Amino acid sequence: MALPDSSKLIIGTPIVLADITDHSPATANDLGTRTDQIDCTDLVAGAARQSDKIDFTANIDLEYILSVCVEWEVTPEIAAGETLEFYMAYSNSATAATANPGGVGGADAAYTGYSAGSLANSLKQLEFLGAMVMDNVITTDQAQIDMAIATFTPRQRYGTLVVYNAAASAALHSDMIETSFVFTPLTTQLQD
């Protein structure tokens, strides 16, 4: 038997977090069909939102790419250089409220961290995935897309995405038609 002489990455089936009530993006902003729930409608500056707990499956791929399409409110405008931050709360349990770090509930809801703590300190207990840096194109109500915010390896089978609005005053859009957060698995395949 010959040893493999190369490897390549195969793109797997993505996990697409979006809002079930109104996710219906225009073709130019469509990152995939929703598979899991998060509703970031009107997420104000300085606030965070958590998703339903997602399943990376028992056969976790070594790498996932985080891609995002997000739309902001026109007023107040997002300033160029402001960010939307992404964190992961890993868990070994499929049950929403079980074995979660940082006071995460594991279900689509506002995220404030531990009730007796602070949001800033609770976020530090999660894995920081990356930040999407914004441009000031909001006067045209244009969605912004970043296809490679981060590449990461899941640390447990389950996880909850936490989205933190680090803008000074801008809020996410009043509907989630265009907004989605995507984890695309990359499978390493050995080649002869």
pLDDT in tens, 28-57: 999 999 999 999 999 999 999 999 999 999
97-113: average pLDDT: 98
Q: How far is Cα 108 from Cα 89, in angstroms, rounded to an integer? A: 13
pLDDT-derived band of residue 1, with 50, 70 and 90 as boundaries? low
pLDDT at 135: 87
User: 172 near 40, Cβ under 8 Å?
Assistant: yes
Is the residue at 6 inside a domain?
Answer: no
pLDDT at 75: 83
| pLDDT, averaged across the chain | 94
pLDDT at 110: 98
Is the residue at 76 inside a domain?
Answer: yes
Is the residue at 177 inside a domain?
Answer: yes
pTM reported for the whole predicted model:
0.95
Is the residue at 28 inside a domain?
Answer: yes
Phi first, then psi: give them for residue 123, nearest 5 degrees: -60, -30
Q: Which residue segment(s) compose the domain that 71 sits in? A: 18-161+168-191
Is the residue at 133 inside a domain?
Answer: yes
Is the residue at 2 inside a domain?
Answer: no
Task: Count structural domains, the chain.
Answer: 1
pLDDT at 19: 98
pLDDT digit string (tens) for 131-177?
Answer: 999 987 656 678 999 999 999 999 999 999 999 999 999 999 999 99
84-107: average pLDDT: 98
Is the residue at 12 inside a domain?
Answer: no
